[in-house]
DNA sequence: TAACGATTTTGACTTTTGTCAAAAAAGTCG
DNA sequence: CGACTTTTTTGACAAAAGTCAAAATCGTTA
């Protein structure tokens, strides 16, 4: 009943030994809407899976918030710079709904990677899957207009429209909220 | 003097045992401008590093070619679907210059991943680095206008402008070649 | 329910980018 | 060199998206 460990298992077998270690490392927390999972500049971070709830990742550019992704339930989530590189995060991760999540710190994860080489298979597959998802998003931004991108989002993350404000979605799509409002009117 | 093995070494130590296996698996080839490394629909593919030369990856959308990336010397290259998923490639990879490259097939790579768990550390780090590069590109497409994206490209891949035709670059930036020509006029 | 703040919509206008056609420039090869 | 192809540039116009300001709607809570 540990959403993060269950998720790991989808990417590869866990020996009883590794699973036991994971049970020591993985913690669960509950946070309110508006709370932060991660703030820009932080180096210490975690990989996490939301059991119930929702987050957004965003960064500031030219004094504006830019939403880089949304994190729904049962998806492996994290910020690349702190988790992959032990470097300060350029993005913030904020809960958009009251949320319960399971997490493991990058430090502990790297510890597992070192002690159990097989764990790297799972880490590799997770990163590879993220590559494919990011490529999909690049294709959408590179070749589609605002309306088509909105419909791509509807298709891949239909929940988003119900649960996330129009302004946040517009930012994620790389358009203004006025434009998105006009698209939606149709 | 094996560009691919050297590249692997940048991501982690290779035991003599693994390096010997790699030497068996990694092959070198030379191809002409216009030749294909990979064609859409292929499942069998490889990870590769170009010693001298240049490739582009592109796919067809609405009867038009869309350039998804360019591959320069001494960068780990490959197409996600066939390499990560053993699924048919949606993209083509074509040489834009006469090229010499080192490659390892996905099959052999997966073989190494299974036989030498530590090899997954290198695979993981490669995939993680690609994630960061792809995120960078998403940020550019999401928040910058045509001119800013052009300057981002100038900054990150200054070679591109010298070695790649304007039409190919425009496609990569998600704009028309007329627009790019007008940007460049300034 | 009333009042407040936040979010969404609308309108008028500007800027950016795309489209289509044609001309100019650059590259290739006998 | 000269003919041919490919690539790049230019012009006129159309479409897409942004900006700014104001109004409408929605949600929350006293």
pLDDT single digits (tens) B100-136: 999 999 999 999 999 999 999 999 999 999 999 999 9
C-alpha dist (Å) from residue A171 to A10, A63, A71, A143, A174: 32, 13, 15, 17, 5
State whether A138 and B138 contact (CB < 8 Å).
yes
Chain B partners of A141 at a C-beta cutoff of 8 Å?
Answer: 138, 141-142, 174
State whether A131 and B80 contact (CB < 8 Å).
yes
Tokens of B93: 């990879």
State pLDDT tens for residues B19-29: 999 999 999 99
Question: Is residue A100 one of the residues assigned to a domain?
Answer: yes
State pLDDT tens for residues B74-91: 999 999 999 999 999 999
- Which residues on neighbouring strands pair with residue A66, listed in sequence order? A59
For residue A186, the model assigns a pLDDT of: 84
Question: Is residue A48 one of the residues assigned to a domain?
Answer: yes
Residue B139's nearest CA partner among A149, A166, A90 is A90
Domain that holds residue A98: 3-115
Q: What CATH number did the domain enclosing A47 receive?
A: 2.60.120.10
Nearest CA in chain B to A87: B132
pLDDT band at A153 (very low <50, low <70, confident <90, very high): very high
Question: Is residue B85 one of the residues assigned to a domain?
Answer: yes
Is A117 an interface residue toward B (CB < 8 Å)?
Answer: yes
For residue B186, the model assigns a pLDDT of: 85
Q: What is the mean pLDDT of residues B161-174?
A: 97
Question: Is B184 (CB) below 7 Å from strand D?
Answer: yes
Q: CA A165 – C1' C18 distance (Å)?
A: 30
- Which residues on neighbouring strands pair with residue B67, listed in sequence order? B58
Question: Is residue A31 one of the residues assigned to a domain?
Answer: yes
Question: Is residue B122 one of the residues assigned to a domain?
Answer: no
What's the domain count of chain B? 1
Tokens of A160: 């988003």
Question: Is residue A45 one of the residues assigned to a domain?
Answer: yes
Question: Is B61 (CB) below 7 Å from strand D?
Answer: no
Q: Sheet containing A27-31: which strands, arranged edge to edge?
A: A27-31, A99-105, A46-52
State pLDDT tens for residues B62-78: 989 999 999 999 999 99
Percent of chain A with pLDDT over 90: 98
Question: Is residue A161 one of the residues assigned to a domain?
Answer: no
Q: What is the mean pLDDT of residues A32-45?
A: 96
Out of A84, A117, A121, the one facing B128 most closely (by C-beta) is A84
Question: Is residue B177 one of the residues assigned to a domain?
Answer: no
């Amino acid at each position: 009943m540990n959403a993060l460990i269950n998720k790991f298992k989808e990417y590869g077998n866990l020996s009883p030994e590794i699973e036991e270690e994971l049970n020591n490392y993985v913690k669960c927390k509950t946070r309110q809407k508006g709370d932060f999972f991660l703030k820009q500049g932080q180096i210490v971070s975690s990989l996490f899976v939301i059991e119930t709830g929702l987050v957004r990742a965003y960064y500031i550019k030219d004094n504006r918030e830019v939403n880089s992704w949304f994190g729904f339930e049962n998806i492996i989530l994290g910020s690349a710079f702190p988790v992959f590189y032990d470097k300060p995060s350029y993005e913030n991760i904020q809960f958009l709904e009251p949320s319960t999540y399971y997490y493991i710190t990058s430090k502990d994860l790297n510890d597992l990677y070192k002690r159990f080489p097989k764990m790297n298979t799972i880490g590799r597959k997770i990163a590879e899957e993220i590559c494919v998802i990011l490529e999909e998003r690049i294709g959408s931004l590179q070749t589609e207009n605002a309306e088509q991108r909105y419909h791509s989002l509807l298709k891949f993350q239909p929940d988003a429209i119900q649960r996330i404000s129009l302004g946040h979605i517009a930012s994620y799509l790389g358009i203004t909220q006025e434009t998105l409002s006009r698209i939606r009117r149709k």
